[in-house]
Amino acid sequence: MGLFFSNTCKEDLIGFADAGYLSDPHNARSQTGYVFTCGGTAISWRSMKQTLAATSSNHAEILAIHEASRECVWLRSVVQHIREDCGLSVGKEAPTVMYEDNAACIAQLKDGYIKGDRTKHILPKFFFTHELQKNGDVRVLQIRSSENLADLFTKALPTTTFKKLTHMIGLRRLKDLNGCLIRGSNCALHSFSLNYGFSHWVFLVRFLMR
């Protein structure tokens, strides 16, 4: 298996964030998961146990999208740096779309930190995403849970769902790309290994040219 990067897909940077509420019930900890794709293929992802005890699924989702937002800021700076080095025009970038499947989380991030019964126990710093939205850096949109690619990094999934989501992040088998190679298309297959927790990756790059 490897990540397939097509030379025809023009999708910009897109983020997906999710949380597995109380994935570790013995320690009252939830799981954060996020993945960013560019050109329809994953370029950055992470799965980590949350260090705070989330009091609700909404709380866990806010913690998860906070981590994803921090990664998004870094990825946007990388993209801008590449554009500058390539001599491309650098202006105000369009907001990076980040998908989240929890409606309550999206509503709270839109309104910002409000000290009320629902949010008074959540540290204000976790509403960092709200500031990014206000500044036009990100745009948080709702997506169905079944289509949230970050679901891969929060919990065990049924086989059919797992295969669907791994295909959507760009994972392919080499034998499935034979048709592409026969037609003479340019493509690159990046095989990779993941350590425990899916938090880091090592790419072994192999270019398949005409």
Give the pLDDT confidence score for residue 179 in this predicted structure. 56
Q: Which of 59-63, 66-70, 150-154, 201-205 has the lowest mean pLDDT?
A: 201-205
The verdict on residue 87 lying in a domain is yes
pLDDT at 116: 72
pLDDT (0 to 100) of residue 3: 92
pLDDT of residue 194: 40
Strands 2-6, 171-172: pairing is: antiparallel
CA angle 82, 87, 93 (to 5 degrees): 60
- Asked whether residue 203 is assigned to any structural domain, the reply reads no
Q: How many domains does the chain have?
A: 1
Q: Which residue has the higher pLDDT, 185 or 96?
A: 96
Q: Is the Cβ–Cβ distance between 109 and 65 less than 8 Å? A: yes
Task: Residue 57: give the domain boundaries.
Answer: 10-155
Q: pLDDT digits over 130-176, tens only? A: 999 999 999 999 999 999 999 999 999 999 999 999 999 999 988 77
Q: DSSP letter at 8?
A: S
CATH classification at residue 22:
3.30.420.10
Q: Is residue 113 part of a domain?
A: yes
* Dist CA 11 CA 149 (whole Å): 15
Q: What is the pLDDT of residues 21-45, one digit of tens each?
A: 999 999 999 999 999 999 999 999 9
pLDDT digit string, tens, across residues 79-130: 899 888 888 877 778 999 999 999 999 998 988 876 677 677 888 888 899 9
At residue 142, the pLDDT reads 97
Burial 115-149 (b: 16+ CB within 10 A, else e): eeeebeebeeebbbbbebbeeebbebeebeeeebb
Let me know if residue 181 belongs to a domain.
no
pLDDT of 83 reads 86
What's the pLDDT at 113?
Answer: 72
What pLDDT score was predicted for residue 119? 75
According to the model, what pLDDT value does residue 208 have?
31
pTM: 0.83
Tally of CB atoms within 10 A around 67: 20
The pLDDT value given to residue 14: 97
* Position 161 in a domain: no
